[in-house]
């Protein structure tokens, strides 16, 4: 069992397999000019398995595969099959934009993937093109359907709210949670890689979601049990097929119950999504003891809190924030 200085037990590892993506979402990366890691810089699947074996020996039980867009890296089903066979690993989930999911959902499920989170910030095709800077809404919707047919549930939809861009669709997403067995998670826009005036203008606190939910006039109640709910504060309307959740790292941080570490595609172990501190696992590869020591060190240097809200108000920070983009972290 891996416990940090503040008593938090860590049993959840997020693994980025690539920093590349087939979209260019405006809150994640610029449309042009991104420099991606060369394939030789990425951890191989064999190396990822080594790291996870060490993590499992320390009590990690849940994995999440992320990117960039993880499905752009070939052979992902093979990696998932190997990870699921590691003693101690109980669940593997994946976050994806859904663009390539329709063709791979069945194979991923057969390999051992348990469930998916699918990023979807709008239900309007023109707005999708504006936010993602690419077309493809129909491909994402096809991916959602394929995930359901393959049994990759509960299916969660990750919706990043952007003031002045998609806040008028909150009620549409809430109705979607009533009509279909989908779990919509509204996420606050985080200052990862670009805490500038654009972020401040576009940031929207999730009080807007609860206001919209009340305006629908449907009875609702907190939802205590939802598999893999993580930091989400979950609610469901009476008689709904799905649910909706709030993830508000800026306005109401959930650091006190954080149970995760992150492994970047190029081999850095990150204790906190926001801070610059990270540990390179590559020198430790080949030694189970050295890898376990790195995990212990990551837990030891993990801060008690991030300070994203300070960025909103232009306040000084106690640590240096990460310079990586969200796509480079696997956030």
What are the binding residues for GTP? 14, 64, 95, 156, 260-262
Strand residues in the chain grouped as ranges (E): 2-3, 9-10, 12-16, 62-66, 91-96, 115-119, 155-161, 182-188, 220-222, 233-237, 243-247, 260-263, 268-270, 279-280
- Share in percent of the chain as helix, strand, coil (round to 5): 35, 20, 45
Under DSSP, is residue 326 helix (H, G, I), strand (E, B) or coil? Answer: helix
Please say whether the dihedral angle defined by the alpha carbons of residues 273, 278, 281 and 287, taken in this order, is positive or negative. Answer: negative
The structure tokens listed for 4 are 């940090």
Distance of CA 200 to the CA centre of its chain: 21
Phi then psi dihedrals of residue 169, to 5 deg: -100, 5
Rg (CA), the chain: 19
Query: What is the number of H-type helices and E-type strands within the chain?
Result: 11, 14
User: Per DSSP, what are the bridge partners of residue 184?
Assistant: 157, 244
164 burial level (CB within 10 Å; 0-12, 13-18, 19+):
exposed
Q: Would you call 314 helix, strand, or coil by DSSP?
A: coil
Single out the residue of 202, 195, 205 nearest to residue 314, CA to CA: 195
Indicate the SS3 state at residue 168: helix
Annotated binding site for S-adenosyl-L-methionine, which residues?
A: 27, 68, 119, 190
Cis amide prior to 68 (ω within 30 degrees): yes
Residue 187 pairs with which residues in a beta bridge? 160, 247
| Binding residue numbers | 14, 21, 25, 27-28, 64, 68, 95, 119, 156, 190, 255, 258, 260-262, 272
Extract the tokens encoding 258: 């954080």
Could you list the residues known to form a binding site for [4Fe-4S] cluster, using ranges. 21, 25, 28, 255, 258, 272
């Amino acid at each position: 069992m891996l416990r940090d200085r503040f008593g938090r037990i860590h049993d959840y590892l997020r693994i980025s397999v690539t920093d590349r993506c087939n979209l260019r979402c405006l809150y994640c990366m610029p449309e042009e000019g991104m420099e991606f890691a060369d394939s030789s810089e990425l951890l191989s699947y064999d190396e990822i398995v080594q790291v996870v074996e060490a993590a499992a020996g320390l009590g990690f039980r849940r994995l999440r595969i992320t990117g960039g867009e993880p499905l752009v890296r070939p052979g992902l089903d093979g990696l998932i099959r190997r990870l699921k066979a590691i003693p101690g690993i109980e669940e593997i989930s994946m976050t994806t934009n859904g663009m390539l999911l329709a063709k791979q959902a069945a194979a991923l499920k057969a390999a051992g993937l348990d469930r998916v989170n699918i990023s979807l910030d709008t239900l309007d095709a023109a707005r999708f093109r504006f936010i993602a800077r690419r077309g493809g809404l129909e491909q994402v919707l096809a991916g959602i359907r394929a995930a359901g047919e393959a049994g990759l549930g509960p299916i969660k939809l990750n919706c990043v709210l952007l003031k002045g861009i998609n806040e008028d669709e909150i009620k549409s997403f809430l109705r979607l949670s009533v009509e279909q067995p989908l779990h919509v998670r509204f996420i606050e826009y985080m200052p990862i890689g670009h805490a500038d005036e654009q972020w401040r203008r576009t940031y929207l606190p999730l009080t807007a979601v609860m206001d919209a939910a009340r305006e629908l006039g449907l009875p609702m109640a907190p939802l205590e049990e939802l598999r893999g709910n993580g930091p989400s504060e979950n609610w469901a309307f009476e008689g709904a097929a799905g649910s909706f959740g709030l993830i508000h790292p800026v306005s109401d941080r959930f650091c006190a119950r954080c149970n995760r570490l992150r492994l970047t595609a190029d081999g850095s172990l990150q204790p906190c999504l926001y801070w610059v501190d990270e540990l390179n696992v590559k020198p430790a590869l080949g030694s189970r003891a050295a890898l376990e020591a790195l995990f212990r060190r990551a837990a030891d240097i993990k801060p008690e809190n991030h300070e994203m809200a300070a960025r909103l108000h232009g306040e000084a920070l106690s640590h240096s924030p990460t310079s990586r983009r969200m796509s480079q972290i696997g956030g």
